Chains A and B, each alone.
Chain A
Amino acid sequence: MTTTQPVTATAKEPRRVPGQPDMWVFVLFESLVFTSYFGVYLYYRAQREEAFLQAQSHLDLWLGVLGTIVLLTSSWSVARCVQTARAGQYRAATRDAFLTAGFGVAFLALKIVEWTGHVQAGHTFTSDDFFQHYFFLTAIHCVHLLIGFVVLGVLVHQLASPDRRSQETVETCATYWHTVDFFWVLIFALLYVVR
């Protein structure tokens, strides 16, 4: 049974970041690492702009857009997972976590289709400078995505038992997933959109 406490203007909860503050160290550090990868890409792109633009024209913008929509939808479902867990609706939260994983799998499938198409067309990791960066950035992002599946597994495991449930863990896992999406949006903009 819970008792209702009067909420006064002075009894505000202290402001805090979602999830474990420690996860934000990962977010910031990985953001710096990705920034350095982007910096290297932009430097070489500026050096050989024509060659990069020519190679870039082989990318399917709409496949990139589709992947971005799928991944952003997964961000929406993991945000729903946090909300439903906060409301104590753990069954719905678990469903949202599985939905997020499903979108992640769909994104991965799209990437594999895209990679296969490029390799069959002769654009491989070693074929030219642009595709080196393309395969590297998309692959390192997919490694983060694969780790994201482990993170979602931890989330589902936590939600499965009342003894293990922790809103902080749910938010920490969601923070990781949003970070993976955030990196993709930057990669998409740099590789597919900026021409």
Chain B
Amino acid sequence: MKRPAGRDDPKRELWLAWYAILVFYNLYTVVFFILTRTQPPGKPWYGAGDASGWFAHHHDGLLVGFALIFVLGGLSATSIALITYSIRRMSVSRAFAYSYLILYSVSAVPGFLFICVAMTAGAMRPDRDPALQQWLYDLGFLSFSGTMGVFLVGSLIWMAAILLDKNRVFPKWFGYLNLCNALTEVVVAPSWMFDRGVFAWNGLIAWWINVVVFGLYTGVFINLLRNVIIREDFGTGPLPGLPKRARGHAPAEVVS
């Protein structure tokens, strides 16, 4: 393996970023599904009194969970950074990597941070008018579920880069899986129009099917990023294949 001069392990930063992704997605699952109970989402048809009651019922979990996100949510940047790095390693224009980086950084604001801010505000101001609390409730869930479309173009850019790449950084099937993910993100858009049924923000089609696809997609890309780091030779040509002893085991050095 080629090692830049004066460096002990040139992959150390990459592994640091990859483990940060693992920490982030585990934190994300614990915070959204267990602590704050914002996933699966609350009932979209709640009126002012119900929304106010929901904030009171979830008060402690919302504060603890989103406090963790405000402190550690920045770890999500490592995911975007490592994917951007992987696109830079491809044989395609750098414009793909920079477009992905900017799109996902911007998308994280409505698609991830808005809900944290809105729900924390609702939980920390129980004395406010219930109508305002309902507004925060709607804002939180609609921004989280209804803005998945802003991630769509990012997924398509990643897909195009993978399909055009000649360095075999990712398998082509993952490029097509990006398209599958992008298509399910379109499906969430109707949640703005409905407060009940399959297309509401907690609906079978708009949320449940979508979250299963997103969960599979996320698991796959985290594993493929791990393989990219194992295969990385810091060259500019095609990435070597996975070494045999790394298949299904702990990360191992690639011998080139």
A interface residues, Cβ below 8 angstroms from B: 20-23, 25-26, 29-30, 33, 36-37, 40, 44, 125-126, 129, 132-133, 136, 140, 143-144, 147
Pair A126/B194 contact, Cβ less than 8 Å = yes
Decide yes or no: A26 and B197 within 8 Å by CB, A40-B204, A40-B205, A136-B205 being known contacts.
Answer: no
Decide yes or no: A22 and B183 within 8 Å by CB, A36-B209, A40-B204, A44-B198 being known contacts.
Answer: no
Chain A CB within 10 A, most for which of B171, B176, B194: B176
- Residue pairs across A and B with Cβ atoms less than 8 A apart, 27 shown, are A20-B172, A22-B172, A22-B173, A22-B175, A23-B172, A23-B173, A25-B176, A26-B176, A26-B177, A26-B180, A29-B177, A30-B183, A33-B183, A33-B213, A37-B205, A37-B209, A40-B204, A40-B205, A40-B209, A125-B190, A125-B193, A132-B199, A136-B187, A136-B199, A140-B183, A144-B183, A147-B179
Q: How far is the CA of A144 from the CA of B175 in the complex (A)?
A: 16
- Count contacts on B: residues with CB < 8 A to the other chain: 22
Pair A33/B209 contact, Cβ less than 8 Å = yes
B197: chain A residues at CB < 8 Å are 129, 132
Q: How far is the CA of A44 from the CA of B190 in the complex (A)?
A: 18
Q: How far is the CA of A33 from the CA of B187 in the complex (A)?
A: 11
Closest CB in chain B relative to A67 CB, distance in Å? 21
- Interface bits B158-184 vs A (CB < 8 Å: 1, else 0): 000000000000011101110110011
Pair B180/A30 contact, Cβ less than 8 Å = yes
B interface residues, Cβ below 8 angstroms from A: 171-173, 175-177, 179-180, 183-184, 186-187, 190, 193-194, 197-199, 204-205, 209, 213
B177: chain A residues at CB < 8 Å are 25-26, 29
Which of B172, B173, B184, B204 interacts with A33 by CB under 8 Å? B184
B180: chain A residues at CB < 8 Å are 26, 29-30, 33
Closest CB in chain A relative to B161 CB, distance in Å? 15
Closest CB in chain B relative to A38 CB, distance in Å? 11
B204: chain A residues at CB < 8 Å are 40
Can you name 18 extra interface pairs (CB under 8 A) apart from A33-B180, A126-B194?
A21-B173, A23-B173, A23-B176, A25-B173, A25-B177, A29-B177, A29-B180, A33-B183, A40-B205, A125-B190, A126-B193, A129-B197, A132-B199, A136-B187, A136-B199, A136-B205, A140-B183, A140-B186
